[in-house]
Structure 1
Amino acid sequence: MAAGNLLRVDDFCLFYRTSAGIGRAVDGVSFELERHQAMVVLGESGCGKSSLGRGLLRLLPRNVEICSGRVFLDEAEISAYNDERFRREVQWVRIAMVMQAAMNALNPVVRVGEQVAEPLLVHRGWSRARALARAAEVFSLVGISADFLRRYPFELSGGMRQRAVLAMALITEPDLVILDEPTSALDVLTQAGIMNVLKRIKRELGTSFILITHDVATSSEIADRVALMYAGQIVELAGAADFFLRPFHPYAKLLLASIPRLHQEKRPEFITGQPPSLLSLPAGCRFAPRCPSRFGRCAENPGLMTLPGGRQVRCWLYAEGAQP
């Protein structure tokens, strides 16, 4: 593992068993994340983003058919840990997660403070009084008054509930926080407030983030790197500035061209067709049926190609000697 890397994921796969067949939700994903870095995982709904986040933290449903690959945290291969050791040393201790839909992540009949303090009771063995005092500190960090510790989830607004769930993830001071659509279903001003909190936490605490989202505009505020997913695979992996200014993969170009611009007369474009079913993936390049640049070689499955400068792209247009 390169110096400075916090997380390394090698060939991670997560397949689900369904009545209609095997769904390849995450299919051979590999990436590295440095300390104090934020990586945004972008893509359309159903591309495997949330499955990747849950798989890394072993929050798996019962119908998992295959969960494979190697995951390293610092120098330790945490994918080799048994479930008990993973729960004790990794889950909500060094890696935490903010779930999508904060109201569903909170127990409606338990006070918010008790839920936020729970990881310290379970994983650190702290007393209730000490854990609640720490919860008040973390509430202040995410911009919530300590008075809200005694309230129930239904007494909080959507933005406050999202901050409370973020506080729950931060209370054990993890190295990495995975955020699954943290600003979905929130109004624009509340979204901006949540993103400002995340930027401050990254700056002041040095916490690393993996932000799972389909919101390109919001994600650009915090991203250091971008991993673009399509049909269970990463199709482009690049530094955020490079990706947003000059995307390479045809899917990335179309995705960014679909975003409305304030000071641009050009109308937003759209991507024709639909993403493929994860139960029945096309042979060859998975984006080829929707790609305006497809050519003969797209019938073969492209690997993730590393270009000069370190950007990685899964597209035959960038293979050595390619002449589409």
Structure 2
Amino acid sequence: MTQPALLRVENLRLAYRTGRGVVRAVDGVDFDLRRGEALVLLGESGCGKSSLAKALLRLLPRNVQAHEGRVWLDDTDILALPEERFRRDVQWLRISMVMQAAMNALNPVVRVGEQVAEPLMVHRGWSRAKAMERAAEVFALVGVSTDFLGRYPFELSGGMRQRVVLAMSLVTEPDLVILDEPTSALDVLTQAGIMNVLKRIKRELNTSFILITHDVSTSSEIADRVALMYAGQIVELADARHFFTEPAHPYSQMLMASVPRLHQPDPPQHIPGQPPDLLDPPAGCRYAPRCPKRFGRCDEMPDSITVGERHHVRCWLHGAGP
């Protein structure tokens, strides 16, 4: 039996006002996520990955021009909820987030145990003593000694701070955790440790993850599915096995060809050109100006085309008809 989706995102859009015009950071994004599944959101810097996360959690700056679409969490369209109810029932309780740069996410003058316990006191009304007990449990879950509960952020290493922020996101036992570049500032061994913690949590707690990254090799450690973003759109959405071995979109193919691999006969390739300016993106396929397989129909915006089970590509090469 097919497991129902925990999260369904339909035609999600997010645009910002700037002094130069309107930036369409997220432009018609659709995907679904099952319970206990890890979706890796790949893409170059500036493609809209972090904006997509903020759109899901309604963590929006003041210069938002448009924020629309439908985001179903189980049977509830959470974007249609009033702001107060969203904060009370969804934000942090059912969906939490690990921000980039752990040190910036922690208050430097508050002990880390207090910061991890705070969501329970704020959102669930727990006593400080009960919340601290739960914080100690989650510290153990992410591999941090309870001796660190009384430490300040500056007393911890970068890897330990990242684990503390992860503990903060897990303390309320949410259904979904969004992780924005959780290993980008860490050394290779610490990255591996964080990814092992995530895999264990996913296995033991059946937690769903959306992992935002530009690191293909790290993402392959945990991915069940991969969504590749380009210029505010998802251009390929596939299960990890197919994406990493048989990518369908020309951008996906060139991205995978750029990744160094052991024993590969040819050197990694580079992707020529630059992503488009989201103030004035191309009218047709966003990738067409850089695509070696471009043809006449690429002047039209391609639809999301189904090429296999839960495998969708935004590319006319896979479309039917002329």
Q: TM-score under structure 2 normalisation?
A: 0.98
Structure 2 match to 1:158: 158
Structure 1 match to 2:5: 5
Q: How far has the Cα of 1:264 moved from its partner? A: 1.3
Structure 1 match to 2:74: 74
Counterpart of 1:259, as a letter, is V
Structure 2 match to 1:109: 109
The correspondence of residues 1-324 of structure 1 with structure 2, limited to 5 A, is 3-321=3-321
Structure 2 CA distance for aligned equivalents of residues 301 and 4 of structure 1: 30
Structure 2 CA distance for aligned equivalents of residues 86 and 3 of structure 1: 25
Structure 2 CA distance for aligned equivalents of residues 163 and 287 of structure 1: 37
Q: How far has the Cα of 1:45 moved from its partner? A: 0.3
Which consecutive segments of 4 or more residues in structure 1 shift more than 3 A? none
The number of residues matched between the two structures is 321
Counterpart of 2:305, as a letter, is M
> Which blocks of at least 5 consecutive residues in structure 2 are unaligned?
none
Structure 1 residue matching 2:308: 3-state secondary structure: coil
Per-residue CA deviations over 1:185-226 (Å, capped at 9, x if unaligned) read 100000000000000000000000000000000001100011
Structure 1 residue matching 2:100: 3-state secondary structure: coil
Structure 1 CA distance for aligned equivalents of residues 33 and 195 of structure 2: 20
Counterpart of 1:4, as a letter, is P
Counterpart of 1:90, as a letter, is V
Q: How far has the Cα of 1:125 moved from its partner? A: 0.3
Q: How far has the Cα of 1:173 moved from its partner? A: 0.2
Structure 1 CA distance for aligned equivalents of residues 3 and 244 of structure 2: 26
> Which blocks of at least 5 consecutive residues in structure 1 are unaligned?
none
Q: TM-score under structure 1 normalisation?
A: 0.98
Per-residue CA deviations over 1:221-271 (Å, capped at 9, x if unaligned) read 100011000000000000010100100000000001000111112100000
Per-residue CA deviations over 1:3-48 (Å, capped at 9, x if unaligned) read 5210000000000000010000000001110011000000000000
Structure 2 CA distance for aligned equivalents of residues 192 and 169 of structure 1: 19
Cα-Cα RMSD: 0.9
Structure 1 CA distance for aligned equivalents of residues 172 and 49 of structure 2: 25
Structure 1 CA distance for aligned equivalents of residues 100 and 312 of structure 2: 28
Counterpart of 1:252, as a letter, is S
Counterpart of 1:164, as a letter, is V
Counterpart of 1:248, as a letter, is A
Counterpart of 1:137, as a letter, is E
Counterpart of 1:214, as a letter, is H
Structure 2 residue matching 1:15: 3-state secondary structure: strand
Q: How far has the Cα of 1:164 moved from its partner? A: 0.2
Structure 1 residue matching 2:122: 3-state secondary structure: helix
Structure 2 residue matching 1:301: 3-state secondary structure: coil
Structure 1 CA distance for aligned equivalents of residues 267 and 230 of structure 2: 24
Structure 1 CA distance for aligned equivalents of residues 314 and 142 of structure 2: 38
Identity across the alignment (%): 73
Per-residue CA deviations over 1:138-177 (Å, capped at 9, x if unaligned) read 0000000001111010111000000000000000000000
Q: How far has the Cα of 1:321 moved from its partner? A: 3.5
Structure 1 CA distance for aligned equivalents of residues 33 and 300 of structure 2: 29
Structure 1 CA distance for aligned equivalents of residues 87 and 199 of structure 2: 28
